[in-house]
Amino acid sequence: MHYAILAYHEEGVVQSWTEDEDKALMADLLEVNDRLVAEKKLGPAARLGPTQGAVTLRGKGAGMVIDGPFAETKEQLLGFYIVEFPTIEDAIAAARELRGANPTAVYEIRPVMLYVPGAALSAQDAG
């Protein structure tokens, strides 16, 4: 089963880190990343750009593009990992390792159904 590990943090806090603080944090996160890659458990992972550069598409028909996300929360989605584990408990363990490297972040773990053109969903992905 695939799981998304969504990384949330207060964007202002992340932007306040010095370049050295950010590099140190990323080095710690990459240690976890490298281990998951070696175990063939890690799929796509990304660090998202700042929300000031984001837009939201919403509304009827073709929709309307408006500035930025407007979530009513202190934390913003700043990045994600796609992992493959047999159980959500295993995905939670991976998220705990990421949190060990970045203890002030919040991690949401959510099952992912993959949509591959022309391929049927497996019973496991569908449920």
pTM over cut 0.85: no
Mean pLDDT computed over 6-31: 92
In a domain, 40, yes or no: yes
In a domain, 36, yes or no: yes
Q: Which domain holds residue 97?
A: 1-50+77-114
Give which of 82, 55, 81, 80 is closest to 68, Cα–Cα.
Answer: 55
CB-based contact 83:3 (threshold 8 Å): yes
Query: What percent of the chain has a predicted confidence (pLDDT) above 90?
Result: 50
pLDDT tens, 82-117?
999 999 999 999 999 999 999 989 999 999 887 777
In a domain, 123, yes or no: no
pLDDT score of 53: 80
In a domain, 37, yes or no: yes
pLDDT score of 28: 94
In a domain, 66, yes or no: no
pLDDT tens, 34-68?
999 999 999 999 988 888 888 888 888 888 888 87
Give which of 5, 1, 3, 4 is closest to 106, Cα–Cα.
Answer: 5
